[in-house]
Structure 1
Amino acid sequence: MNLKKLFINFFFSALIITFAANSYAAVIDLVKIEGNRRVPSETFLRYTVKAGEEFDMNKVSASIKEIFTTDLVVDVQVDMRVDDDKLTLVYVVKEKPYVNKVYLEGNINVRENYITEDMIPMEGQILDRAKVEENINKIIGVYHDEKYYSVAVKADIEDRSDNSVDVFFRIEEGPEARIYDIVFAGNKFYTDKELMKMLSTKEKGFFSWLTGSGKLKQELIEIDVEKIRGEYMKKGFIQVRVGEPEVQISEGKKKRITLTFRVEEGDRFKIDSIAFEGNRHRTDKELESVTVLKSGDWFNVEEFQNDIKRLTDRFTEIGYAFANVEPLTKENKDEKTVTVTYRVEENVLVKISRINIRGNADTKDRVIRREMDIAEGDIYDSRRINSSKKNIEFTDYFEEVRLDEKRVDDSSVDLNVSVKDKRTGFFSVGMGYSSVDELMFMLRLQKKNLLGSGYTTDFKAEFASKRTDYTISLTDPWFLDKPITLGVDFYKLKRSYYEYDKYNDGVALRLGHPVVGRKLYATYKLAYEKEKISDIDDNASQYIWDQEGEYTTVSFTPILNYRTTNHPVDPTSGNISRIYYKYAGGPLGGDNDYYKTGVETSEFIPLWWKFVGMLHLEGGYLDSTGEGKLPVDERFRLGGIYSVRGYKYGYISPKDEDGYDYGGNKMFLFNAELVFPIAADQGFKGAFFYDAGQVNDTDEDYLDGKFYQGVGVGFRWYSPIGPIRIEYGIPLDRDDNKKSGRWEFSMGGMF
């Protein structure tokens, strides 16, 4: 080292000492990073002092702390150097090692990929002790799910030469164990059997290999404790305590778990009295009418919470959007009663300032806005706001509908309607079999919300060896942006029966409007049809021969539709009903004079758990208003997937003297279904059903004679490509006494 450099080093050493003592300023010429292998120098330089700054020991110390906060290093040292007469500040870092490989050892009875799919990825990342501990817990959790409750897991970290490590998770599986006994202690009000039904955790059963019963899962245990506690609190046991279940594992090769739930029921409380305070715009009587809990009832925490919501809704429905109901309870332990006071804060009357529509990339604003039951400037009404959301959902134009409120000031709110357009093109493909058409294929192409304006176009076609049907429809559900439906249908039909061929061309005009809100809807249909019956077989009945030739039919059909279901496609509650009256001929003209009337109703009933019952009734009647015979194609026939399953389409029908089915003028149909989820997340459901139907002719009384019954099982899948139905029906009343069943199938999809 030459004298000049020696002098400079001595000078800067003295300078640092002098700076620390006297705050003498020295300028840093260069900042360098050394020791880093994987992390770029630029990453560390973000936290160091900068070249050109005056040397400051406090800033250097602070920068070292900043580098440690990155969690990238285990050590940082700072050197002062003089290179080419320049003052250089060097940060010497020691990086944390990174994980090269993760190994599992000792897993004999559980596959490696089943374990690793739950673990937090570590390979190629900086070693994080917290992740190691978390992965140990995840491995233990996987083994607990597989009934290995004695499992032990430890992690060993082995250094490599390149500042990396391998992590070994060493597993001692221990013996497999299952829950064989669930025991309850301290329960008097509920029996052991009743408590057992409340639990998600189950004892090992005969079908445990299929159902998974006998597994001990901590998350389910915690849910079960809350279930038991909740059921007690519904019955007035407001002081109930349910301890953390005790787990006992037997000794021996085959581990048996006994799970013990300990319950301290406490006293049961009734409601002494209910009072209201602060309510100015609702009387006590009005509020009492919406509460379920009454004086003298057992205190039910669940209904208590629901009553608070119901009371709040009574004020939000009349404009008090920020109303608050605060419940005050006072226990009388001696009398075992609870006094309830609902303290109401109505706050101020609120109006709707603006309604903002968002997210509708394809759909026009007006299509959404016209579905709203509330408008800008209206008094706030939570009931109408909720019904508006439901109306938009029922258009079936959107994957998602959200309605949020934004407070503008103390007396107004904005409603933000956020939607996500969905694919509204629908196709369905189906096939079936009928005694008339034999093997039949069906195709339907439908586009809702055409051009984002709510128009619907629909094309339907049915093909069979003896049948071809085409229908094209166009519908505007809001004609002139009024709640009036206007539509037109064009259709062409060709059908070859055993005894004759029939051709039918027609056009129909439809008009509809609401009668009572959106629940009751009226439609009117005016149709003009040209009909031709030809190619009659020599052995056909005289009834068919009498209708040979060409005819015109002009008909008018008013229909009333009623709907209260909670979902447009897959309802679980509510009702769908319809009544119609079709009048043909008379003053309308044409060659056929008759009337046809019918009524049907479907009730969806939520039952226990997620089971849903469905009851369907339908009846129809057909009669002539002139001298001519009833058109054969208007006559009633039953059988098939949409009526009485287990029978071919048209099997349930009166027969003429030659044994031919030609339909009846009276019809009755009953269906009962029990629908249940199989894989709810995937939209897969099952159903048991019972069907019964009857078709009579003019010489028979209504509901007189034989009923045809069928039972069976069905499977429905609301798949990504649309609804799919598979039904297997067993006939109970075939004329030939055969009991062989029939499969029926239909499916649909989106485009």
Structure 2
Amino acid sequence: MTAASIKYFIRVLIFFIALSAELNAQSEDTLPVEIDKIIYDGDFDTHEKEINRAIAIKSGQKILPARLPEIADRIRRYSLEQGYLYALIDSIRLEDAEKEGLKNLHIRGKLGGKVFIGQYRIKADSLPPDELEPVIFLQKGQVFSQQHIEKQVTDILEYLSDKGYLFAEARIDSFKITKDEDQLQAGFIIALNALQKIRLRDVILTGNYHTKDDVILREIGIQSGEICTSEKIEKIPARLMRLGIFKEVSRPEILWKSGADIQLKLAVVEGNSTTLDGVVGYIPRQNEDGYFVGRIDLSFNNPFGANRRLDIFWEKPDELSEEFHLSYTEPWLFKYPVSLSLGLDRIVRDTTYVEWNLTAESRIRLFGDFSAIGGFSRKSAFPDSAASRDMRLLRNAALNLFAGIEMDNRDNPINPRKGVYSRLDFSYGFKTNYGPSYLLVEEQAAAKESIQTYDIKFYWFYHLWANQILALQVNGWQTEGGRLQLTDFKWFGGYQSVRGYRDKQFQSDRIAWVNTEYRFLTGLNSRMFIFCDTGYYRRHESGLISDEWLMGYGAGVRLETGLGILGVDYGLARGDTFSDGKIHFGIVSRF
């Protein structure tokens, strides 16, 4: 073997020895070790339990040696939060314990002296002295914590932004630690810059090919020349989505700033202006004329780009029943935030009675997310002669005056991630009973009666994490006064109340239901969910009154389509088998 060959062999051998040592060291770092004791060497005596919680390690726990740098970092963060700005970690190592196979975690270092907040001031010459008092929580003598300082600065900037100082900046100046009566104190200055209130110059709109500019601008909550706040800007998408005519509204973008003026860019995606959903069928019969059944739902959303709305609905589920609805809404009457809605309803309940209802409702925006509602309705009921005789139903008409208040701060009314919607209505009606005359005598019914109705809605949406939402929707309705009969009751059950039961399966003068959903958002206006619905109603049967409780559960989906939001729910009522489940379909045609 030549000398060159020997040298080459030695080099290769050294390489493999070094590689083996490196792999062995890496292998040791990747194998977990069990901790027997945590030993502190330094002035940690009164903080050992707290540090153990901070590093999330206890006796008997297994850890990877590679975690040692992370443990040191956690101790440093804990020290800074507790005011020990001079804390020093000399070393952290694993040592053999007395018990075979176990290791002790040995931490060597010192905390040093605790630092407290000394004299500090806020430097903002253009602000009044007491302007920031509502958000100042730092006090002299408190433990100096970097986390608290950062939160104080953040609170100040958010407060100023909500006051119109959109471009305010903050920094810590003149930071100095001194010793005063054996106590370390930190003095500093919170300096604020760019303290100028910002006003809106104008808004550039994109995507509104059909909707008029003034329809959008009057709804955003900020007019040209007004002071802009971060809260007003952040609420613009939600305010526009609540109009129901847009699929999507982007967060406003600041295009440019000139002095104290800014220009905003706002992009929208319009929904369908006209939607038609329906199916019509013909049922033939032997030796008799057949009959039509079906459903037609026609909506004119945002006609002429002015946010008006016209709805026509017709449904005939069987030969003897029929429902017709017509409504029109005119927004911003005389250029004020007041809308007027007119509605006409005709309902045929098989052979029991026919009901007509004419409604006029006005809505006025009060402030922020609150609106006041008021109006009247004229409701007339015409029972069949057999129903009058057998079910003791009177022909009647009622003039109802109603008022209510509504609050809505949901970020998206179709598919909310967060927010609350609530509405409370009270109605007082003047009811006149017309006959039949024999029934008035037999039932000793008064010709004139009063009737009161209460209606409450409370919807709460909570963003848990990622695209998962918890939705809770509470509804309650009650009517009272005079001689109540079937035509005064509310019908419920099915798709829009307690799923797992037939649509409008129940009726009562007192009802309530709660919809609880765990939602998985799959798109801006789409979701999947599981649900549990509970309901209550007061049952009237054969002159007896009893309380009945309902429960339904299942799963559903809301899918954005060209027609609108398609809803499909599969629900099981309490006691149902899988084959007894109900499939509920629905279309939300308005975005």
Relative to structure 1, is the Cα distance of residues 575 and 411 closer, same or farther in structure 2, using a 3 angstrom cutoff? closer
TM-score normalised to the size of structure 1? Answer: 0.54
Conserved? CA contact 1:553–1:592, under 8 Å: no
Query: Aligned partners of 1:235, 1:442: CA distance in 2, in Å?
Result: 66
Conserved? CA contact 1:235–1:268, under 8 Å: no
Secondary structure in 2 matching 1:707: strand
Alignment partner, residue 107 of structure 1: none
Alignment partner, residue 46 of structure 2: none
Alignment partner, residue 534 of structure 1: 384
**Partner residue of 1:672 out of 513, 516, 533:** 516
Aligned: 1:360 with 2:203:
no
What is the letter of the counterpart of residue 601 of structure 1? Answer: F
TM-score normalised to the size of structure 2? Answer: 0.66
Alignment partner, residue 259 of structure 1: none
Aligned: 1:410 with 2:259:
yes
Q: List aligned pairs for 1:419-568, cutoff 5 A.
A: 419-428=268-277, 442-465=295-318, 466-496=320-350, 500-515=351-366, 517-534=367-384, 536=386, 542=390, 544-547=391-394, 550-568=395-413
Alignment partner, residue 417 of structure 2: 572
**Partner residue of 1:707 out of 544, 549, 572:** 549
Query: Aligned partners of 1:230, 1:490: CA distance in 2, in Å?
Result: 70
Alignment partner, residue 173 of structure 1: none
Query: Aligned partners of 1:423, 1:742: CA distance in 2, in Å?
Result: 30
Query: Aligned partners of 1:635, 1:390: CA distance in 2, in Å?
Result: 35
Secondary structure in 2 matching 1:685: strand
Q: CA deviation at 1:533?
A: 1.6
Q: CA deviation at 1:563?
A: 1.3
Query: Aligned partners of 1:426, 1:635: CA distance in 2, in Å?
Result: 32
Q: CA deviation at 1:594?
A: 2.2
Query: Aligned partners of 1:230, 1:666: CA distance in 2, in Å?
Result: 61
737-746 or 528-537, larger mean C-alpha shift: 737-746
What is the letter of the counterpart of residue 510 of structure 2? Answer: K
What is the letter of the counterpart of residue 365 of structure 2? Answer: P
Alignment partner, residue 222 of structure 2: 374
Conserved? CA contact 2:476–2:512, under 8 Å: yes
Secondary structure in 2 matching 1:387: helix
Q: CA deviation at 1:475?
A: 0.6
**Partner residue of 2:475 out of 595, 613, 618:** 618
Query: Aligned partners of 1:588, 1:521: CA distance in 2, in Å?
Result: 35
Q: CA deviation at 1:362?
A: 1.9
Query: Aligned partners of 2:382, 2:231: CA distance in 1, in Å?
Result: 54
Query: Aligned partners of 1:267, 1:445: CA distance in 2, in Å?
Result: 76
Aligned: 1:684 with 2:541:
no
Deviation track 1:692-726 (CA, whole Å, cap 9, x = no partner) reads 3232459889xx84422333333333455432333
Query: Aligned partners of 1:591, 1:638: CA distance in 2, in Å?
Result: 28
Relative to structure 1, is the Cα distance of residues 749 and 394 closer, same or farther in structure 2, using a 3 angstrom cutoff? closer
Q: CA deviation at 1:286?
A: 5.7
Q: List aligned pairs for 1:728-743, cutoff 5 A.
A: 728-732=570-574, 740-743=580-583
Alignment partner, residue 66 of structure 2: none
Q: CA deviation at 1:453?
A: 1.2
Query: Aligned partners of 2:354, 2:427: CA distance in 1, in Å?
Result: 21
Q: CA deviation at 1:464?
A: 0.4
Conserved? CA contact 1:689–1:712, under 8 Å: yes
Relative to structure 1, is the Cα distance of residues 681 and 558 closer, same or farther in structure 2, using a 3 angstrom cutoff? closer
Query: Aligned partners of 1:339, 1:185: CA distance in 2, in Å?
Result: 45
Deviation track 1:157-206 (CA, whole Å, cap 9, x = no partner) reads xxxxxxxxxxxxxxxxxxxxxxxx9979999635599xxxxxxxxxxxxx
Alignment size in residue pairs:
479
Alignment partner, residue 99 of structure 2: none
Secondary structure in 1 matching 2:508: coil
Unaligned runs of 5+ in 2: 1-29, 36-50, 59-69, 86-106, 281-291, 435-446
Query: Aligned partners of 2:423, 2:536: CA distance in 1, in Å?
Result: 18
Deviation track 1:566-615 (CA, whole Å, cap 9, x = no partner) reads 21211122211121122222699997742222222111122244432222
Query: Aligned partners of 1:268, 1:574: CA distance in 2, in Å?
Result: 45
Conserved? CA contact 2:558–2:566, under 8 Å: yes
Query: Aligned partners of 1:415, 1:289: CA distance in 2, in Å?
Result: 30
Secondary structure in 2 matching 1:362: coil
Alignment partner, residue 723 of structure 1: 565
Deviation track 1:69-115 (CA, whole Å, cap 9, x = no partner) reads xxxxxxxxxxxxxxxxxxxxxxxxxxxxxxxxxxxxxxxxxxxxxxx
Supply the RMSD in Å over aligned alpha carbons: 4.8
Aligned: 1:746 with 2:586:
yes
Conserved? CA contact 2:526–2:557, under 8 Å: no
Q: CA deviation at 1:232?
A: 9.9
What is the letter of the counterpart of residue 726 of structure 1? Answer: V
Conserved? CA contact 1:271–1:340, under 8 Å: no
Conserved? CA contact 2:370–2:405, under 8 Å: yes
Relative to structure 1, is the Cα distance of residues 609 and 526 closer, same or farther in structure 2, using a 3 angstrom cutoff? same
Secondary structure in 1 matching 2:252: strand
Q: CA deviation at 1:480?
A: 1.6
Relative to structure 1, is the Cα distance of residues 349 and 611 closer, same or farther in structure 2, using a 3 angstrom cutoff? closer
Q: Which has the higher contact order (CA 8 A, sep 6+)?
A: 2
Query: Aligned partners of 1:486, 1:351: CA distance in 2, in Å?
Result: 33
Conserved? CA contact 2:138–2:152, under 8 Å: yes
Structure having the higher Rg: 1
Conserved? CA contact 2:525–2:565, under 8 Å: no
Relative to structure 1, is the Cα distance of residues 541 and 707 closer, same or farther in structure 2, using a 3 angstrom cutoff? farther
Q: CA deviation at 1:234?
A: 8.9
Secondary structure in 2 matching 1:392: helix
Conserved? CA contact 1:469–1:494, under 8 Å: yes
Relative to structure 1, is the Cα distance of residues 607 and 712 closer, same or farther in structure 2, using a 3 angstrom cutoff? same
Conserved? CA contact 1:237–1:267, under 8 Å: no
Alignment partner, residue 169 of structure 2: 324
What is the letter of the counterpart of residue 528 of structure 1? Answer: R
Query: Aligned partners of 1:427, 1:235: CA distance in 2, in Å?
Result: 62
Alignment partner, residue 456 of structure 2: 599
Deviation track 1:601-635 (CA, whole Å, cap 9, x = no partner) reads 1111222444322223222221234xxx3241331
Secondary structure in 2 matching 1:372: coil
Percentage of matched positions with identical amino acids: 16
Query: Aligned partners of 1:750, 1:738: CA distance in 2, in Å?
Result: 33
Q: CA deviation at 1:293?
A: 8.7
Query: Aligned partners of 1:418, 1:738: CA distance in 2, in Å?
Result: 46
What is the letter of the counterpart of residue 488 of structure 2? Answer: E
Q: CA deviation at 1:483?
A: 0.3
Alignment partner, residue 635 of structure 1: 489
Relative to structure 1, is the Cα distance of residues 717 and 414 closer, same or farther in structure 2, using a 3 angstrom cutoff? closer
Query: Aligned partners of 1:695, 1:230: CA distance in 2, in Å?
Result: 63
Q: CA deviation at 1:330?
A: 6.5
Query: Aligned partners of 1:692, 1:443: CA distance in 2, in Å?
Result: 29
Conserved? CA contact 2:432–2:448, under 8 Å: no
Secondary structure in 1 matching 2:354: strand
Aligned: 1:400 with 2:254:
no
Deviation track 1:297-354 (CA, whole Å, cap 9, x = no partner) reads 8654xx977765542232233343432223569698x999998753211343443334
